Amino acid sequence: MSMQTGRARSLILLAAAFLGAAAARVEAQAGGNTAAVVVARYPEAAASFAGTLVAAMIRELGDSGFSPASAYVGTLDASLPDSELAGAALAESKVRWAAVVRCSLDNRRVLWRLSVYDALDGALVASDARAAFAGLSALPLMDESATLVAQAAAALRSRTAPGAPIEYRIRFSSPDDGAAVAFGGGSSSRLIGTITEGGLVAPYAAFESAVPIVATASKDGYWPRAYAFEPGLADEPVTLPALMPRTRHSLSAGTAFGRLVGLAADYRYHIASDSVFLRAGDQAWFQVAAGGGSRATLHDELRLGLGAYLFLPRPSRFRIAAGSGLSGIASFVQSDAGPGGLYFDLSLDAVWISYEWHWPKMAVFIEQRSAYSFGIDAGLLRRGWWEAGHAPMLLTAGAMIKW
Amino acid sequence: MVTSRSVAALATATLYALAAFLASSCDLLSGDIFPSWLPYVEARADLAAAAAEAGIGTLRNLDTVEYASFTDPADGVDKSKILAYLRGLDGEALVAFEPAGMDIAMALKRGTDPLVGQVSGNIAATPEGFISGNLAFSAANLEAAPVLVPGGIVPGGILVTRSDPVEYFMMHTWYNDSILEYRLEIQKFDSAFSPLASASRRLDAEGSMMNLTKAQYFETAGSTDGLFRLLVETGPGTSVFSFADEAALLSSTPLLEDSSALRSGPFPMGNNGGWLTADGIVTMNRDSETYINLYAYDWTALEATPTDRLQITGDTEAYRIMSFDPSGSWWYLHDQLTQHLFALRTWW
């Protein structure tokens, strides 16, 4: 411990390090939790109070999770501001945290200030300044002050260095002309403009580079969409994903495995956009066999049902829809000698699940279904669950357009 | 909160699940909910309705299905019939179906209509129509009274018909427990069922086990002599013995020692029997998958390999193949769950 007497007040400098050993400044950014360094400078008259503050500071830093602090050993100019004193001590001791304690006497009062600085960017992370009667009654106040400062510093122990602010106006590109773009989301968002001719240059905002920010695009007839991005140091346009329109109708075409010589068409009317819908579909296909005596059997299935999108947000690219309904299949079996046979099967379309990948105007899907045949006399199917070959469910794949 | 990352993870997991599902379902790309044999169906009959029409109550079993081919020389009309023998809770009946559409042409309950005899499940086609039990029916006029056949078809026996001249060969196997020998008895009748000749044959000199399951006469184009083919179960397996003429059939030489008997086989038969057709032998084999196999008569390999086959998918345990038409044109399948009888075209 050394003392400087050039000014009328005392100075104590503490540096608490997180490091396993004294480390470079860059290494200090990684954080740590090891020993601290304490350096104290004060006029002789305030020595007893300063000693109390230093001891309290060392103790409270340790109790708050810092490694045991130690006094800084060196000579500093007490006339320098606290931040410079801390910077000098941090540079010399190569630790991350430095606590500066100033203590002085003014007539019969003792005045002190405790400050903690972070070597990461030299920021003041905690501070407390007080004055009290220069007597024993000041000692509990000094302990309390040290506790508050140590706890405030400990709360920021995992802080990282803030990035540099960007120096350009963020440019957005989007296929949705007329879409309003805002920084943030919800009621706290700030409107920054409208997409025109596929782009928008936002008013300058001092966002830090590499810090995620959120932009929300919205447009009538479309689902609003929030997009998070991290602006870089260089001026590069931010591409906003296309907005998903609110769907009222969709029409799909596809075919089923095992019914490849045929086509399925399906219409959906959305009672609630992209949520609950009615569907009506028709699928016609020929059942063929390779043998010489085979005659293609024509099947035509009419489906009616109710479905809903589950689990995922309505504007999602990937969506899962499920539902149930009724199915009626008419089958015409060809005959060589007779008139042929016309049969009709009625089934409960017990559950179907559709896995879909959506673009704004279209989607592709694979649908699984499990149905139960009522086994009516006029039909070809027995009463029971459908079996497609050896698979329990029938698969259909196709594409749909939406509007 | 659902994020784009969680959506992507869910999408990836779902695609993996679908891929695994596809990979694990080997028949997924070809299977549909309808039977694989549906494109071969010519017509379907409702056996429960036939049983009701015949007055035998609820159908219990379908014993026999045979095809009787007949073209009426008087008008040149095809009057062939599909004959089925049904067993119900209240009796038994012979039902004749029209091949086209399988409408019921006749339903005759056993022991009620013709008091001269009894129909039975032993059915054989004849040049004039068909015989069931000890009654011969005219296909030209099913409403005509049937003719009594003395003795009829021996229970367990097989009646083989030759049309030019009209002659019948009644065959059956039996076990003579006094001398511990299996015997094949063959009796030849004329068109009036008067006996003409007979033969008693053994499999070998020891009279080893044999069981005649099918027999058929196949006319040979350009020849008065056709082929008699006999499907015989023996200890080593099931074989077909073919005889080029009547004299070879009626020989008393043991079958395995008869140089005039061409032996084909053994064929893999399983427990589902086999059928003789003009195009080969048909068997049904149930394993992990069910196939109906067609084997040629003149195969030369050590093990018979099917020349053609048809896979049966779905609940195959409920499907029962009733018969194959000897001409090789038709076959009949009984769905025991729905009590439907299907007439199908062959696939070869």
A3 in a structural domain:
no
Question: Does residue B33 sit at the A interface (CB-CB below 8 Å)?
Answer: yes
| Residue the block writes with tokens 């084999």 | B285
Q: Angle CA(A103)–CA(A105)–CA(A109) in degrees, nearest 5?
A: 110
What's the CA gap between B122 and B157, in Å, rounded? 8
- Given an 8 Å threshold on Cβ–Cβ distance, is A381 in contact with B34? yes
- Given an 8 Å threshold on Cβ–Cβ distance, is A289 in contact with B27? no
In this prediction, residue A21 carries a pLDDT of: 30
Q: Where are the beta strands (DSSP E) in A205-340?
A: 213-218, 222-223, 225-229, 238-239, 244-245, 249-256, 262-272, 276-287, 297-310, 318-333
Looking at the fold, whether A227 and A292 belong to one and the same domain comes out as no
* pLDDT per position as a tens digit, A251-279: 999 988 878 888 899 999 999 999 999 99
pLDDT band at A18 (very low <50, low <70, confident <90, very high): very low
A1 in a structural domain:
no
A300 in a structural domain:
yes
In this prediction, residue B164 carries a pLDDT of: 78
Looking at the fold, whether A70 and A212 belong to one and the same domain comes out as no
A166 in a structural domain:
no
Q: How many domains does chain A have?
A: 3
Looking at the fold, whether A182 and A279 belong to one and the same domain comes out as no
- Given an 8 Å threshold on Cβ–Cβ distance, is A297 in contact with B345? no
- Given an 8 Å threshold on Cβ–Cβ distance, is B40 in contact with A293? yes
Question: Does residue B40 sit at the A interface (CB-CB below 8 Å)?
Answer: yes
Which of A155, A185, A213 is a domain's end point? A155
CATH number at residue A53: 3.40.50
Question: Does residue B311 sit at the A interface (CB-CB below 8 Å)?
Answer: no
CATH number at residue A181: 2.60.40
- Given an 8 Å threshold on Cβ–Cβ distance, is A380 in contact with B35? yes
In this prediction, residue A394 carries a pLDDT of: 81
Mean pLDDT of A305-325: 91
Q: Measured on CA atoms in the order A71, A144, A87, A19, is the torsion positive or negative? A: positive
- Given an 8 Å threshold on Cβ–Cβ distance, is A317 in contact with B11? yes
Q: Which residues of A340-357 are buried (b: 16+ CB within 10 A; e: fewer)?
A: bbebebebebeebbbbbb
Which of A243, A269, A299 is a domain's end point? A243
Looking at the fold, whether A271 and A205 belong to one and the same domain comes out as no
Q: What is the pLDDT along chain B (348 residues), one digit of tens a residue?
A: 445 555 555 555 555 555 555 544 444 444 678 888 888 998 899 999 999 998 999 999 999 999 998 888 888 888 899 999 999 998 899 999 998 888 899 988 887 755 556 888 888 888 889 988 888 898 888 888 888 887 778 778 899 998 878 889 999 999 988 888 999 999 999 888 888 899 999 988 888 899 998 999 988 776 667 789 999 988 877 888 999 888 889 988 998 888 888 888 777 777 777 899 988 889 888 777 788 888 888 765 566 678 888 888 777 778 888 889 988 889 999 998 889 999 999 988
B18 contact residues in A (CB cutoff 8 A):
355, 366
Looking at the fold, whether A207 and A260 belong to one and the same domain comes out as no
CATH number at residue A316: 2.40.160.20
A211 in a structural domain:
yes
pLDDT band at A61 (very low <50, low <70, confident <90, very high): confident
Question: Does residue B10 sit at the A interface (CB-CB below 8 Å)?
Answer: yes
Amino acid letter for position A283: Q
- Given an 8 Å threshold on Cβ–Cβ distance, is A318 in contact with B43? no
Question: Does residue B29 sit at the A interface (CB-CB below 8 Å)?
Answer: yes
Nearest to B28 among A257, A287, A297 (CB): A257
**DSSP secondary structure string for all residues of B230-259:** EEEEETTEEEEEEESSHHHHT--S-GGG-T
CB A95 within 8 A of CB A22: yes
A4 in a structural domain:
no
B325 contact residues in A (CB cutoff 8 A):
none
* Coil vs helix vs strand at A232: coil
- Given an 8 Å threshold on Cβ–Cβ distance, is B40 in contact with A291? yes
Looking at the fold, whether A59 and A182 belong to one and the same domain comes out as no
Looking at the fold, whether A239 and A254 belong to one and the same domain comes out as no
B314 contact residues in A (CB cutoff 8 A):
387
Looking at the fold, whether A398 and A260 belong to one and the same domain comes out as yes
Predicted structure pTM score: 0.69
- Given an 8 Å threshold on Cβ–Cβ distance, is B27 in contact with A293? no
Among A130, A123, A128, A129, CA closest to A156: A123
Which of A243, A269, A301 is a domain's end point? A243
| Residue of chain B whose alpha carbon sits nearest to that of A287 | B39
What's the CA gap between B135 and B108, in Å, rounded? 12
Q: What are phi and psi of B56, to 5 degrees?
A: -110, 15
Q: Domain range holding A278?
A: 249-402
- Given an 8 Å threshold on Cβ–Cβ distance, is B7 in contact with A391? no
CB-facing half-sphere around the CA of A61: CA atoms within 13 A: 33
A5 in a structural domain:
no
Share of chain A above pLDDT 90, in %: 33
- Evaluate if residue A164 carries a pLDDT over 90: no
B100 contact residues in A (CB cutoff 8 A):
335, 337-339
CB B345 within 8 A of CB A289: no
Question: Does residue B17 sit at the A interface (CB-CB below 8 Å)?
Answer: no
- Given an 8 Å threshold on Cβ–Cβ distance, is A318 in contact with B314? no
* B223's tokens: 């020849």
Looking at the fold, whether A229 and A356 belong to one and the same domain comes out as no
Looking at the fold, whether A200 and A272 belong to one and the same domain comes out as no
* pLDDT per position as a tens digit, A174-219: 999 999 999 887 778 888 889 998 889 988 888 887 788 899 999 9
- Evaluate if residue A137 carries a pLDDT over 70: yes
Looking at the fold, whether A27 and A135 belong to one and the same domain comes out as yes
Looking at the fold, whether A348 and A276 belong to one and the same domain comes out as yes
In this prediction, residue B116 carries a pLDDT of: 58
Our CA-based measurement puts residue B343 at a distance from the nearest CA of chain A, in whole angstroms, of: 10
Question: How many contacts, defined by CB atoms under 8 Å, are there between A and B?
Answer: 142
A333, A365, A386, best to mutate vs chain B, most B CBs in 10 Å: A333
- Given an 8 Å threshold on Cβ–Cβ distance, is A287 in contact with B28? no
Q: Among A80-84, A137-141, B122-126, B249-253, which stretch is predicted with the lowest mean pLDDT? A: A80-84
Q: Among A124-128, A202-206, A327-331, A395-399, which stretch is predicted with the lowest mean pLDDT? A: A202-206
Mean pLDDT of A370-382: 90
In this prediction, residue A181 carries a pLDDT of: 92
ipTM reported for the complex, 2 dp:
0.77
Assign residue B91 a region (left: φ > 0; alpha: ψ between -120 and 50; beta: otherwise): left
